[in-house]
């Protein structure tokens, strides 16, 4: 496409909370031509991804096509592509399909799971960042129960019914709570040969306590709530190895068929190629206006950025931070295009939340600390509110209501990775 005179080309890489919200704010703005690039075709409402993994929601309930969400903006082009390099000096990005020049660039590629140099563990312990990973986790957890149902050997049956979750942050807590609840209530009545009390769910945390970003009182409350759902919380527990049959610690071993990884993330690999200052975790250390040092036309947002101006700690990698930064960057670009100065980012703290099972949560907002059912209601309201923009808001709410009152799991499907009958052995049906 040829440039119109004076038209500025803005490229957004990654359509998560930061990228999508920046794109919405730049849509149909005069003097702006916008290209949004993402590796996938969908925006994902990540805070509810664990519910897809736990078979309570379908992928389409919490994800929607990016190009559809941005269809009403005639200045916006959406491309499903992978950005492989950024040439800051030439104001150009390289994709697998070619190259594009920009006047302003927003990098909002998010993060992925980190195995701290033990990448071979991924095969045995999937993380939870994408729809594909959520589906894989769902397949493993549900297959564990199916395998246990037909296993005559008690030792092997116990192994199928043991679930280890590595990492005691909000994701680990949410997964552990949901599996604990599923084992206790939802699945108990559907199986004939499983003694559901044999099922064990173990949450492993290397640090002295789970949910370190929350106040101690709330984290302890979460531990008690997890234990009520049958989850064993093991703190100060360092994992030394993970293989196909279990998890190894210094003096102990858990024999289990299913291990889930929620122990750490690292930002997009693109960061390493930029040649700018990164923090220890690999995030780009940004200027107060969220731009890259020396490149006022390049901005970084969300999990990919390290922002600590005027703060005791850098901002965490959570949805409200990404969303607010995306909007702020869009506003800064509009200011710059109109010849004015970019403004330093100010974060509005929205507090933090974590759910434990079907009706309990913890919620901290400034000095306010809630736990139990009231916190869970707060969690529900916040998440429904932020699903605005998704057509599925109503469906998701109804699906939740259904799960809540009936103790069922609406999407308990084991979907195989292989779609072919003929090229694979017909008898090899193991997922």
Interface positions, 304-343, toward a second copy (CB under 8 A): none
Interface pick for a second copy out of 103, 146, 279, 297 (rule CB under 8 A)? 146
Q: Is 196 in the site for a second copy (CB under 8 A)?
A: no
- Residue whose CB is less far from a second copy, 103 or 146: 146
Interface pick for a second copy out of 46, 51, 133, 171 (rule CB under 8 A)? 133
Find how far residue 117's CA is from the centre of its chain: 21
**Of 408-427, which residues contact a second copy (CB under 8 A)?**
408-423, 426-427
Residues ≥6 apart with Cβ < 8 Å to 69: 20, 24, 43, 389
Interface pick for a second copy out of 25, 65, 295, 309 (rule CB under 8 A)? 65
- Residue whose CB is less far from a second copy, 136 or 174: 136
Tell me the C-alpha distance between 103 and 107, whole Å: 13
Residues ≥6 apart with Cβ < 8 Å to 419: none
Q: Is 372 in the site for a second copy (CB under 8 A)?
A: no
The one segment of 69-77, 229-237, 255-263, 378-386 that binds a second copy by CB under 8 A: 69-77
Identify the helix (H) or strand (E) that includes residue 289. Answer: none
Interface pick for a second copy out of 185, 234, 347, 395 (rule CB under 8 A)? 395
Tell me the C-alpha distance between 99 and 20, whole Å: 22
Tell me the C-alpha distance between 140 and 53, whole Å: 10
CA distances from 25 to 324, 336, 341 (A): 11, 15, 18
Q: How far is the CB of 236 from a second copy (least distance, A)?
A: 27
Tell me the C-alpha distance between 233 and 238, whole Å: 13
Site map 91..120 versus a second copy, x via CB under 8 A? -----xxx-------------xx-x---xx
Tell me the C-alpha distance between 414 and 418, whole Å: 12
Q: How far is the CB of 224 from a second copy (least distance, A)?
A: 31
Site map 149..188 versus a second copy, x via CB under 8 A? xx-x------------------------------------
Q: Is 273 in the site for a second copy (CB under 8 A)?
A: no
The one segment of 38-46, 230-238, 275-283, 379-387 that binds a second copy by CB under 8 A: 38-46
> Considering only CA atoms, which of 327, 415, 273 is closest in space to residue 25?
327
Task: Report, in this order, helix, strand and coil percent for the chain, each rounded to 5.
Answer: 35, 25, 40
- Residue whose CB is less far from a second copy, 131 or 298: 131
**Of 5-24, which residues contact a second copy (CB under 8 A)?**
none
CA quadruple 256, 262, 267, 270: dihedral positive or negative? Answer: positive
**Residues annotated catalytic, as ranges:** 174
Q: How many of the chain's residues bind a second copy (CB under 8 A)?
A: 77
- The count of other CB atoms within 10 Å of the CB of residue 281 is 16
The one segment of 190-198, 226-234, 316-324, 379-387 that binds a second copy by CB under 8 A: 190-198
- The DSSP code for 278 is B
Residue in the structure block whose two tokens are 């017909």: 426
Quote the tokens at residue 282. 């690999």
Q: Is 397 in the site for a second copy (CB under 8 A)?
A: no
């Amino acid at each position: 496409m040829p440039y119109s005179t004076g038209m500025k080309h803005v490229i957004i890489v990654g359509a998560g909370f930061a990228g999508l919200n920046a794109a919405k704010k730049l849509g149909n703005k005069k003097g702006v031509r916008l290209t949004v690039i993402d590796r996938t075709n969908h925006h994902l409402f990540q805070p509810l991804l664990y519910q897809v993994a736990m078979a309570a929601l379908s992928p389409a309930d919490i994800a929607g096509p990016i190009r559809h969400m941005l269809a009403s903006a005639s200045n916006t082009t959406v491309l499903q592509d992978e950005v492989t390099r950024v040439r800051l000096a030439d104001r150009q990005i390289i994709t697998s399909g070619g190259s594009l020049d920009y006047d302003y660039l927003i990098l909002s590629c998010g993060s992925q799971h980190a195995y701290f140099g033990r990448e071979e563990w991924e095969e045995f312990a999937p993380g939870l960042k994408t729809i594909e990973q959520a589906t894989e986790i769902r397949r493993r957890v549900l297959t564990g129960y199916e395998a246990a149902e037909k296993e005559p050997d008690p030792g092997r049956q116990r192994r199928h019914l043991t679930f280890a979750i590595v990492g005691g942050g909000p994701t680990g807590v949410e997964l552990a709570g949901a599996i604990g609840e599923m084992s206790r209530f939802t699945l108990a009545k559907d199986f004939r040969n499983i003694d559901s009390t044999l099922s064990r769910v173990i949450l492993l945390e290397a640090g002295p306590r789970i949910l370190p970003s929350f106040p101690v009182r709330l984290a302890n409350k979460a531990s008690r709530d997890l234990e009520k759902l049958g989850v064993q919380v093991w703190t100060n527990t360092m994992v030394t190895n993970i293989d196909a049959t279990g998890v190894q610690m210094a003096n102990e071993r858990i024999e289990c068929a299913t291990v889930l990884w929620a122990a750490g993330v690292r930002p997009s690999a693109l960061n390493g190629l930029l040649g700018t200052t990164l923090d220890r975790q690999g995030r780009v250390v940004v200027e107060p206006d969220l731009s890259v040092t020396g490149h006022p036309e390049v901005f970084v947002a969300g999990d990919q950025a390290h922002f600590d101006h005027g703060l005791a700690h850098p901002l965490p990698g959570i949805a409200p931070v990404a969303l607010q930064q995306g909007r702020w960057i869009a506003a800064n670009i509009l200011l710059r295009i109109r010849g004015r100065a970019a403004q330093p980012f100010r974060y509005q703290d929205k507090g933090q939340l974590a759910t434990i099972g079907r009706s309990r949560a913890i919620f901290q907002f400034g000095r306010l600390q809630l736990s139990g059912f009231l916190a869970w209601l707060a969690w529900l309201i916040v998440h429904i509110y932020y699903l605005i923009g998704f057509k599925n808001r109503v469906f998701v709410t109804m699906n939740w209501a259904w799960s809540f009152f009936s103790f069922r799991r609406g999407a308990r499907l084991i979907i195989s990775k292989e779609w072919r009958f003929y090229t694979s052995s017909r008898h090899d049906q193991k997922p």
